[in-house]
């Protein structure tokens, strides 16, 4: 029997951190996280094997100093993800679509980019913290552009109204992980006891208590950073969404280079674990299910 295919579209404004997330997520699944969760990730075809190595593994984990290459036209990576230990689960053919550049935020958005959302089984939507008022020190970033919010609106609208979509009470049914990347830029301004400071507890499966603590914290933070706007939109437009925050690199890069020693991700696995749980590859219980 053919594996079930699960397409995850990475959406976000230009430079929001999609490709860095893909590099770190693939590395984690191939190494420690895969082992911890009893998951095996294998490229489905030669093109994926080559792209994964040349565009993601090598620039981020081997050539520490040269800047990572930003894919120009977007990249689709297809891997087989199977459970090697614990309760047997059907394998999944995991398709990661690393969409490209500024097209989602263009005044006239590129239809071919938006069309990718019509085939999404799940979406990871990044909200660059530099676009959230008060989330980062102005010295650490640049003035908010509004691009992240524009992209978020477009993506959510497409998920509700795109081809073949049926909305539940006007809300998209597709699971949407909404994440604030580059958490290292935000950390100095977080409350001291924020659950975002701590690491995820290692362990098999999906930790619903931790998920619920992080989601609640981020709802409160988003309300501070952008009025009630974002949380309100999400509830109106998405039947199944969860809020995340992570740093893929673990520290601000100097210019466009990866920090010395390579990425040291903080909570970057969280959205991945939630999606894999949604895809039936990981066990879990509790309110974040």
Ligand X SMILES: Nc1nc2c(ncn2[C@@H]2O[C@H](COP(=O)(O)OP(=O)(O)OP(=O)(O)O)[C@@H](O)[C@H]2O)c(=O)[nH]1
Residue 59, beta-bridge partner list: none
Residues 54-113 that bind ligand X (CB under 6 A): 70, 100-101
Q: Interface with ligand X by CB under 6 A: which range of 111-119, 153-161, 195-203, 248-256? A: 248-256
Q: Which is nearer to ligand X, 37 or 100 (CB)?
A: 100
Contact between residue 92 and residue 44 where contact means Cβ atoms under 8 Å apart: no
Report the alpha-carbon angle 59-199-133, nearest 5.
75
Give the interface size with ligand X as a residue count (CB under 6 A). Answer: 21
Q: Which is nearer to ligand X, 176 or 282 (CB)?
A: 176
Residue 19 interacting with Mg ion (CB under 5 A) = yes
From residue 143, give the alpha-carbon distance in Å to each of 234, 248, 255. 24, 22, 17
Q: Which is nearer to ligand X, 25 or 39 (CB)?
A: 25
Residue 70 interacting with Mg ion (CB under 5 A) = yes
Q: How far is the C-alpha of 63 from the C-alpha of 57, rounded, in Å?
A: 9
Write down the least CB distance from residue 75 to Mg ion, Å: 8
- In this chain, which of 42, 220, 252, 285 binds ligand X, going by CB under 6 A? 252
Contact between residue 166 and residue 118 where contact means Cβ atoms under 8 Å apart: no
SS3 166: coil
Helix and strand tally (H, E) in the chain? 10, 7
Q: Interface with ligand X by CB under 6 A: which range of 53-61, 107-115, 213-221, 246-254? A: 246-254
What, of ligand X, Mg ion, none, does residue 37 touch, CB below 5 to 8 Å by kind?
none
Residue 182 interacting with ligand X (CB under 6 A) = yes
- The dihedral over CA atoms of 102, 106, 108, 113, expressed in degrees to the nearest 10, equals 30
What, of ligand X, Mg ion, none, does residue 20 touch, CB below 5 to 8 Å by kind?
ligand X
Q: Interface with Mg ion by CB under 5 A: which range of 11-19, 40-48, 112-120, 218-226? A: 11-19
From residue 136, give the alpha-carbon distance in Å to each of 23, 185, 192, 264. 24, 6, 16, 20
Q: How far is the C-alpha of 209 from the C-alpha of 90, rounded, in Å?
A: 26
Positions that interact with Mg ion (CB under 5 A): 18-19, 70
Binding site for ligand X (CB under 6 A): 12, 14-20, 70, 100-101, 181-182, 184-185, 247-249, 252-253, 256
């Amino acid at each position: 029997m053919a594996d079930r295919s699960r397409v995850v579209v990475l959406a976000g404004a230009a430079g929001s951190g999609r490709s860095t997330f893909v590099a770190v997520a693939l590395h984690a699944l191939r190494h420690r996280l895969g082992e911890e969760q009893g998951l095996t990730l294998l490229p489905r075809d030669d093109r994926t094997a080559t792209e994964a190595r040349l565009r993601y593994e090598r620039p981020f984990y081997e050539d520490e100093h040269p800047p990572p290459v930003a894919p120009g036209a977007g990249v689709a990576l297809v891997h087989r993800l199977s459970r090697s230990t614990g309760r047997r689960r059907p394998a999944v053919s995991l398709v990661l679509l690393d969409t490209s550049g500024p097209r989602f935020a263009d005044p006239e958005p590129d239809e071919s980019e938006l069309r990718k959302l019509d085939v999404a089984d799940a979406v990871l939507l990044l909200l660059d913290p530099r676009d959230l008022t008060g989330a980062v020190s102005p010295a650490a970033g640049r003035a908010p552009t509004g691009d992240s919010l524009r992209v978020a609106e477009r993506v959510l609208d497409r998920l509700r109204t795109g081809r073949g979509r049926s909305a539940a009470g006007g809300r998209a049914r597709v699971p949407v992980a909404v994440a604030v990347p580059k958490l290292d830029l935000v950390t100095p301004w977080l409350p001291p006891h924020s659950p975002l400071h701590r690491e995820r507890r290692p362990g098999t499966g999906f930790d619903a208590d931790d998920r619920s603590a992080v989601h609640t914290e981020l709802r409160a933070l988003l309300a501070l950073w952008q009025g009630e706007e974002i949380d309100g939109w999400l509830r109106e437009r998405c039947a199944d969404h969860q809020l995340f925050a992570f740093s893929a690199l673990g520290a601000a890069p100097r210019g466009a280079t990866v920090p010395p020693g390579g990425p040291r991700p903080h909570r970057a696995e969280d959205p991945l674990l939630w999606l894999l749980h949604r895809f039936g590859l990981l066990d879990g219980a509790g309110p974040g299910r």
